[in-house]
Structure 1
Amino acid sequence: MSHPHHHATSPELERLTLGFVPLLDAALLIVARERGCFADQGLDVSLSRENAWATLRDKVAAGLLDGAQMLAPMPLAMSLGLGRAPCDTLAPLLLSRNGNTVTLSATLSEASGATLGDAPVVSALALGNWLRGPGSGKRPRLAMVYPYSCQHYQLREWLTLGDIDPERHVELVALPPPRMVEALRSGEIDGFCAGEPWGTLARHCGAGRLVATGDQLWPDHPEKVLGVTRSWAERYPATLGALLRALVAASEWLAASPENRRQALAWLALPPYLDHSVRHLESLGLNAAPIRQRLYGTGMLRPTPQDALHFAEPIARQLEAQGGRFSPGQLAACYSPVHFDAATHH
């Protein structure tokens, strides 16, 4: 492990607070804190659990958090002023790829015959054909985690594969990930698209069935990133470099052995983090079909603008629908690997 004095400049901040939402892909932040990777870089990092993405976004923009785990599209949406006042935000590191599931209530899955198969078009068509049939009744209400998210765009893409119009044939609502399973169980929603562990937890408790995954729809897409405002990155460059090195060290530790991944799951299960929501997991069953969630591995953490094209397209459409103009320069600025490369001497 490298120590702060090996680097020309010590971090400007000794203490900082990073936000996270209770999801498996907060793992690198939790590992870096519990394993001492942040401390090795001279940082005392507190992790603040936020239950809703909008709250986390507002706290980062207001400077109440130094940075956070963010949905991959969020730095771009924040920079463009979608959903709130514009705030230039950067994604200097990727925290995960894949990890989302489309989950339907057990009732709707059984009625429609939509089940998880090799191709998401099959389950989407099963739901679509059932919705177009005589017995379907009211429009299903489907939840996603935030309007500017891979979950939202993947859910829409899955629906359109079944010739289901997301505006007319279903009702789409935004709900925080930790609320999904209870909302499904109580009948408040009929399905959702969210990151792990919420889809497999819904399946485990009998409330839901997985019918498609984000990896099937957008193989190996960036899902979560470390997000910081541009002004924060410019003010505390040595702190940012130390943060990035700590997260790379956490990733390398996670990759090193199954024992380490079991230990990471034990840390995730602590009350301040994910608590009971990971009890159903035997291990961090990472990179296993069909979800193929990636939380570590060579080259996973380095951001590139090319990686962001999947979600840049729907964001550009949303922006233009509101009379805005999308510039590729903004995409390049948000997902540039320049900070990562400087911190890791790429």
Structure 2
Amino acid sequence: MGLKKRYIGLFLFLVAALIAMYGAYGFITNRQSSNGPSIGVVQIEDVLEFNPSYEDYKLAKQELEQLRTQYALEQEALNTKSEMQEEQLKSLSLDTTLSDALNVELQTRIATKQNQLNAQLDAKRAELVKKYMEELKYSNKGYDLEIVNLQLQLYAFESRIFIDEAQKEAALSQKAKIENRLQELLAKRKPSNFDLDSIRSKVDAELKPIRDAGERELKQYAESVQAELAKKRDTMMQNQAKAIVSSNNLPVPQEWNDSWAKKLSDKEAEVNALHEAILEDVRMRVAIIAQECHLDLVLIDHGGNIKGLDITDAVKASYRVQ
């Protein structure tokens, strides 16, 4: 509440009732009748500063204004910091660096597992080819074994799983080289009555359950690694988000607001209490002087527009004689 507004409470001796009795402001400005009440006026701004507690009141008001200014500045700073933190968290969520790195790790680990399974399959194929060729007791040419292995390798390409286009292109390039080498060897061995197709069929029949099991194992492994890396990514993102929040060190909004509301409320209560105490002291002094001067009504005059006996100096004097 402003100082001037609070002066309304300084009307003494039942001002409202007297104003009602004598026709409110119309009577006050035309109160020259000899039968009217005796009116006194006081310049309240000139009186308050004579009170011993006025300096304490003025200091408390200054401290209240400083608190309000500090509150506004801190609020603006916190809003700025909060917006910056929001932008940092948004940038973090849009940054693909971590996801890209984990995708590379995923592809690398799957490719490594796939190579291990393929190596096991190749070893088993070579073992079976050798076994069946020895059972035929056929003295084959040096490249017959290579031909069978190449044919089986080409067949294996049909069911191979590729984790990305780059791996697929590399596999197709390898397949083309195997096909070219196979054609060279087949051209060298003609004519021949050696049944390579029957050996290939037998070997492939034994390899199929092994190959199917390997594909299932690779799929399960890929799903497991993908889940592991997704969890790793989420944890790392959460840790980075926590680091951003921690570095900004923003207070809890409700707690911060409540704390400042209490500070301001306490200081406002102190200012109001001091002001009321000063006004009450002035009221008592005015009442004594009004009685001594036989005044019926004392009004606050802010601009010299009210006619009446000015008792301002008398109120000031009452402080000096203490």
- Per the TM superposition, whether the score is higher than 0.5 is no
Structure 1 or 2: more strand by fraction: 1
Structure 1 or 2: more helix by fraction: 2
Q: TM-score, normalised by structure 1?
A: 0.20
